[in-house]
Structure 1
Amino acid sequence: MRGWTRLLLQRWQRISRAVSELRLEHSSGEDVDKLILDSLIEVLVSEASKVPLILLIKNVEKSIMGNFERYMKLERLEKADVKLVIIGSHTSDHHKDKGSSGSYHSNSKMGNNFTAFLDMSLLDHLSTRAEDYKPDGSKCSRMLAKLFPSKIYVQQPQDENMLLVWNRQLEQDTERLKAEANRQLLRIIMSTSNVECNDLSTINIQTHLLTHDMAEKVVGWGISHHLQHHVEPLHRNGKIVIKAESLEHSLAELQAIQRGSTQRKKTLKDVVCDNEFEKILLPEVIPPDEIRVTFDHIGALDNVKETLRELVMLPLQRPELFVKGQLTKPCRGLLLFGPPGTGKTMLAKAVATEAGANFINISMSTIASKWFGEAEKYVKAVFTLASKISPSVVFIDEVDSMLGRRGKDHEHSAMRKLKNEFMASWDGLRTREKERVIVLAATNRPFDLDEAVIRRFPRRLMIDVPDAENRAKILKVILSDEDLSPDFNMEEVAAAADGYSGSDLKNLCTTAAYIRIRELLEQEKKEMEKAKAQGVEKPAAPTGVTPYIRPISMADMRHAMEKVRSSVSSDAGIMGELQQWNEQYGEGGTRKKATLTYFM
């Protein structure tokens, strides 16, 4: 009897493999499904006349009810003169039957007690496109009752101990079915890729079902891993033979990527807010994948980028490097100061993106409140929320407006309390060694900051107006996606734009680009007036066709420079004050004491 079962299974497996390969080679699935069902009936009619068989069809409501042809063929098979019992499993969706499942039995035609059991798992493929099919409940029940006149309802045990055993068995069955389905999908992908794996049965993926794209990645990465560790891989029948450990390695990589992606997605969605202030601030948080600003978007400032990578990004990405000793503790505060339009805010956003940190942009409008005492609670909520969603970057633009020098005659007591609470919460942050939170601030007037605030920024970087070399780098980034004429000279434009900041260069290029569009509109207007004068109606431009716009030329840039000037003059008083403050407090300054007008 075992011999008959083995031969039957071998024959069906050969047909299954052939059909699976055919399914992937052809996009038309209906013909393949018909071939699967015809092959199944052929095997059953041939073998059930020799030996009694039991055919189990899982999810019969999806596999059969979604297609009338399948239903009719199965009905004819039931009426055939063979020793066959068909069992279909069906899970009821009715509330009264919740927790129960049914098994439907066709008429028995057994002639003896020796029966071969055949689990037609390949029929699961028939339901891939029928998953969206949702037949009417009453109609589906009538059709199932006609096809399977005998019913057996499987109810949950009422005894608590038996129910625990029942649930445990269901979990084990679910894991087993998931693992088998994943192995079958990997087997199909490998078959189309001319790959074999002898010990595929040792791989157990029980946590979730693989999609087709995920399985392709697992197989592709597994092949790459195998070739990296085997210079002369084994080949059999024109197929490369890989080991299960290579597939397990690729599975581990896929799961690690999914865990990281899921963790990042769940960080903001599932964060538990302790109070209403955190709930109000939570929408202000920007995930790193939504900032979309990287260091590549910032031309020049290479030295500043390298410093930010070392001081900010490295502690956020590799906190284990800073756990030993006191001298290597990560920097918790960094100040970016300099003239307007030099890229301070873009640098802060790029740091958060490159480090994979959440970005919290706060300002006076974010934390101010008309109710007495609420501003301090908002400040405290900023740091508690940043701690929960770490790694995170708390960015304060125009920090001088929030944390300016205390003790001024016109300063309100509520503002003084807000500053005190901010610095107290900041100190509390610094006492937690494992917190991956950093405060970045930007200002055009660092000399207006309170001395206690300056102390809490141990590193202070001046972002100055770019020189000619850096202006050329910025122009290359700004004009990277634009069409430039052959006579365009980036270095000549950079040299002519002396004193321009990064923002000024962006405005300059935008103005030059609009000159071409203005010329095109003027040309169209003249053609329309000419056609109108001749009494001819000018045909409308075809819809969806982009008109030709000439490349940007040097003449455009020269014309734009006449309109766009530098926003900050090198002779302005603020530039001198910034240079003096940088000498006294900034990164790389001489630290020579200078008598500044604002200290008098």
Structure 2
Amino acid sequence: MRRSPFTTLGGSGFDGSQDAEARLRWFEHVMRRDMDAPVRRLSRMVSGEVEDVIACDVVNPDHIDVEFDSIGGLESIKQALYELVILPMRRPELFSHGKLLGPQKGVLLYGPPGTGKTMLAKAIAKESGAVFINVRISNLMSKWFGDAQKLVAAVFSLAHKLQPAIIFIDEVDSFLGQRKTSDHEALTNMKTEFMALWDGFTTDQNARVMVLAATNRPSELDEAILRRLPQAFEIGFPDRKERAEILKVILSGEKVEDNIDYDRIASLCDGYTGSDLFELCKKAAYFPIRDLLNDEKSGKPSKEPRPLSESDLEKVIATSKKTQVAANEYNSLRSQLVGLSRQTETDDYPVQAAISELSKLVVSQILNLQAENQDS
């Protein structure tokens, strides 16, 4: 199986212990092996140790397996993203005149966890043919003063050389949240450098570089960041029709019965996210395997597992807990325990920290026991 010429560090063919010379040899090997368009763009970059660190997070769009058709629902949002983001990258000649039709400098996807924000970001890169730079905050941090700014600068310089490119920041609130006086100087400098470079590339009218951010806490973003993300799309909980579409996409290509009523199953999954529906189908897929193993134990001849049925999905729905309910129960239990801890008479910080950690552990054990009881 061929490895992707652009992957994350763990699958790139070298590890972080190797020096810049080894990385350069690896890039030369990739270019000789697979001279497609993104790799040819990579060959034009002025490689250095700083850009090599960021290059480990570059993903070739040809090796992204998510498309708009593989995402159920969100039709209006997908259409808007196609017009605002994908078309300017695929047909730049249509948007090269005037200021009103210039390429978008930033797009924000926000909404509850599990609703498909990261998957939608990958699909945007796939559909636009843009190189996908998945920025990991850990790669931007350094123990050496000033190196963080150099790494941030490398993100944008590499994006320019590989354009069209999308700089993707997942959980952007953890990196570009509201600035506070208690923030470390290094973090403040890194945020300032990021915003300065972000404004810098937008001065080039024809630059096909965009920052795509995702978060489930948009209220915690810095106002200066929100100004640079003029296009924001809420990716909320899917409605019944969208849940039915998601189920069809998930089960397409699987061995299922022809008479499954997707609308009915979707109506039973109110409050489920796309991630919840995927886990629902995964659990249901085990029932045909269990039936086959039980038949073999009883001495029946071995055969192919039966197709997944509507009743399999109903069994899982009866015992599953959607993300929204589980999160609410967790918060409720935790608030009760935290309230008890506040009634203690001690003001000792280490003691309070220990109580907080203990409360988290107790809540986790309670939820695990509830899940085991439901499964049994």
**TM-score, with normalisation over the residues of structure 1?**
0.47
Cα shift at 1:288: 0.9
Q: Quote the residue 2:166 is aligned against.
A: 393
Equivalent residue number for residue 276 of structure 1: 49
What displacement does 1:569 show?
A: 4.0
> 1:489 maps to what in 2?
261
For residue 368 of structure 1, report the CA deviation from its aligned partner.
1.4
Consecutive unaligned residues in structure 2, runs of 5 or more: 1-34, 330-376
Matched, 1:323 2:96: yes
**Structure 1 unaligned regions, length at least 5:** 1-260, 529-538, 542-546, 574-600
Give the superposition deviation at 1:327: 1.8
Aligned counterpart for 1:473 among listed residues 239, 245, 262: 245
> Within 2, Cα distance between the matches of 1:396 and 1:351?
14
Identity of aligned residues (%): 48
> Is the 8 Å Cα contact of residues 338 and 462 (structure 1) preserved in structure 2?
yes
Deviation at 1:565, TM superposition (A): 1.8
8 Å CA contact 1:322–1:329 kept in 2: the answer is yes
Is 1:337 aligned with 2:110?
yes
Deviation readout 1:149-185 (Å, 9 max, x if unpaired): xxxxxxxxxxxxxxxxxxxxxxxxxxxxxxxxxxxxx
Letter matched to residue 390 of structure 1: Q
Match of residue 548 from structure 1: 304
> CA shift at 1:275, angstroms?
2.8
Structure 1 pair 527/456, CA: closer, same or farther in 2 (3 Å)? same
Between 1 and 2, higher relative CO (CA 8 Å, sep ≥ 6) is seen in 2
> Where does 1:2-17 land on structure 2 (aligned, <5 Å)?
none
Number of the residue aligned with 1:314: 87
Question: 3-state SS of the aligned residue for 2:324?
Answer: coil
Residue number among 121, 137, 141 corresponding to 1:364 in the alignment: 137
CA offset at residue 563 of structure 1?
A: 3.0
Deviations 1:83-135 (A, max 9, x none): xxxxxxxxxxxxxxxxxxxxxxxxxxxxxxxxxxxxxxxxxxxxxxxxxxxxx
Letter in 2 for 1:287: N
The 5-angstrom pairing of residues 31-70 of structure 1 reads: none
Alignment of 1:256-275 (within 5 A): 262-268=36-42, 270-275=43-48
Provide the residue aligned with 1:447 in structure 2: 219
Alignment of 1:552-567 (within 5 A): 552-567=308-323
1:300 aligns with 2:300: no
Structure 2 length normalisation: TM-score? 0.75
Alignment of 1:98-137 (within 5 A): none
Q: CA deviation at 1:407?
A: 1.2
The answer on whether the counterparts of 1:357 and 1:392 sit within 8 Å (CA) in structure 2 is yes
Aligned partner of residue 478 in structure 1, secondary structure: helix
Partner of 1:524: helix, strand, or coil?
A: helix
Of 283, 291, 307, the residue aligned with 1:519 is 291
Which runs of structure 2 are paired with 1:40-189 in the superposition (5 Å)? none
Alignment of 1:231-250 (within 5 A): none
- Contact 1:499–1:570 (8 Å) recurs in 2: no
* Residue type at the aligned position of 1:275: G
| Mapped contact 2:166–2:210 kept (Cα < 8 A) | yes
Distance 2:172 2:292 in 1: 44
Partner residue in 1 for 2:157: 384
- Aligned-partner Cα distance in 2 for 1:311–1:570: 36
Measured against aligned partners, the alpha-carbon deviations of 1:493-528 in whole angstroms (never above 9, x if no partner) come to: 011000001010000011000121122223323439
Cα–Cα, structure 1 residues 275 and 511, in superposed 2: closer, same or farther, change >3 Å?
A: same
Cα distance in 2, alignment partners of residues 550 and 488 from structure 1: 14
Aligned residue type for 1:444: N
Distance, in Å, in 1 between the alignment partners of 2:325 and 2:93 is 46
Q: What is the deviation of 1:370? A: 1.9
Q: Distance in 1 between matches of 2:39 and 2:251?
A: 34
Q: Is the 8 A contact 1:504 1:564 kept in 2?
A: no
Greater shift, 323-332 or 384-393, is seen at 323-332
- CA drift of 1:385 comes to 0.1
- Partner AA of 2:274 in structure 1: G
- Contact 2:248 / 2:262 at 8 angstroms: preserved in 1? yes
* Distance apart, 1:572 and its partner CA: 5.3
Q: AA paired with 1:313? A: I
Letter in 1 for 2:313: M
SS at match of 2:207: coil
Whether contact under 8 Å (2:38, 2:131) holds in the other structure is: no
Report which of the two structures shows the higher radius of gyration computed on alpha carbons. Answer: 1
Residue-pair matches, total: 295
| Aligned-pair CA distance for 1:283 | 2.4
1:426-445 equivalence runs, <5 A: 426-445=198-217
Q: What is the RMSD of the two structures over their aligned residues, measured on CA atoms? A: 2.0
Residue in structure 2 matched with residue 183 of structure 1 by the alignment: none
**Distance change (3 Å), C-alpha of 1:368 and 1:525:** farther
8 A Cα contact 2:103 2:207, kept in partner: no
Task: State the SS of the aligned residue for 2:255.
Answer: coil
Partner of 1:459: 231
CA distance in 1, matches of 2:87, 2:184: 39
